[in-house]
Amino acid sequence: MFERPSGGDAVVLVSADFGDADYAESLQELRHLVTTAGMQIRATVEGKRQSPDAKYFIGSGKAEELKLMLESSESKVAAFNHDLSPSQQRNLERFLQARVVDRTGLILDIFAQRAQTHEGKLQVELAQLEHLSTRLVRGWTHLERQKGGIGVRGGPGETQLELDRRMLRVRVKQLREKLEKLKQQRGMQRRARKRSNLMTVSIVGYTNAGKSTLFNRLTRSGVYAADQLFATLDTTSRKMHLADANPVVLSDTVGFIKHLPTTLIEAFGATLEEAAQADLLLHVVDVASTNRDAQIEQVNFVLNEIGASQVHQILVLNQIDRLGMPAGIERDEYGKISKVRISAIDGTGLDDLRLALTEYQQLLKQLSTEESAYA
């Protein structure tokens, strides 16, 4: 079995063009993912196909080209810009005699590197185990350290693979139970905030759109922010003061990405629930990105997956400094602020964003008063 890729590993990128309109942007995103994981790109193998090859995904000819490229560049890893089936991944590793990581596996590796809190580490481990369960024959021998309890060591005649699967199921069950307890704690915290009549606002958006930088600006916090994919994984909540309104509770959430692994969405359910339970979402968009419309669509897709599609959104068009755009607001047909143009890096337009929060808080109070009158 090959080891998981680590920082400094030389890697060859692999990307098949199936005619998608965003192919170039997707390949650039793969480069960013790989460098974020700390690996060194030595070469890129590309090719056009009508559909994936059942055995090697890229076909036998491209697989041979990839093998030669790995050898000549002295690379240990082939990183695919696609999700591979378990059999495709195994076939490629046997043929290439190198580690093969697909897009989902790469994102999971980055999450594993970035998780800082106890909850974050539990969530990432659960997602990794769910992903690896169908892929590796001896992929979870590290779970021997977790052995304990009745029936874990196996009975007479039980094969090593069966024992591995049993250990995997035990560990997954343990993780789910621990995360459920943390979810209950989060629910208690949210109910306490509701009793305080504080408006809750979650910052959501595509990864590297500037969410954490904006969060720090608005709350004067020191949350880690960098020009990296998934710089922040753990949800952080802070009280934000407004000049002409009550304080609000602002939460910074994990960034989304195209083809965000389903296992991650499920594992981070308790964390992402902050967005689903919020009174308002600030949807941060990198307005300078050439692929911003597709990124907005992807974020909305994930929000729908986690049950947050009905929460009111304000689009925050960030990084206007890169385009020379003026700060300002846009209102919808009902007169409500729907878009705010800002630059989180230099603070331009943040007064407009505070105005939007103040107005929405006033709207919630008005709706609450009307509901009480009819009650």
172 plus 303 within the same structural domain:
no
CA-based nearest residue to 41, from 93, 1, 94, 81: 81
Res. 260 pLDDT band, cuts 50 70 90: confident
Domain that holds residue 24: 10-108
246 plus 342 within the same structural domain:
yes
79 plus 161 within the same structural domain:
no
232 plus 96 within the same structural domain:
no
329 plus 206 within the same structural domain:
yes
- Is residue 43 within 8 A of residue 73, CB to CB? The reply is yes
- The CATH number of the domain holding residue 71 is 3.40.50.11060
Q: How far apart are CA 184 and CA 51, in angstroms?
A: 45
Inter-CA distances, 92 with 49, 56, 58, 84, 102, Å: 17, 6, 10, 10, 11
Looking at residue 369, what DSSP letter applies?
Answer: H
Whether residue 331 is contained in a domain is answered as yes
Residue 11 confidence (pLDDT):
96
174 plus 202 within the same structural domain:
no
Residue with tokens 């959104």: 313
336 plus 206 within the same structural domain:
yes
Total domains in the chain come to 3
84 plus 157 within the same structural domain:
no
71 plus 140 within the same structural domain:
no
Residue 149 confidence (pLDDT):
38
Checking DSSP bridges between strand 337-341 and strand 328-331, what pairing results, if any?
Answer: antiparallel
pLDDT at 20 over 50: yes
227 plus 144 within the same structural domain:
no
Q: Residue 273: helix, strand or coil by DSSP? A: helix
pLDDT 10s digits, 333-355: 999 999 999 999 999 999 999 99
Residue 89 confidence (pLDDT):
93
Looking at residue 64, what DSSP letter applies?
Answer: H
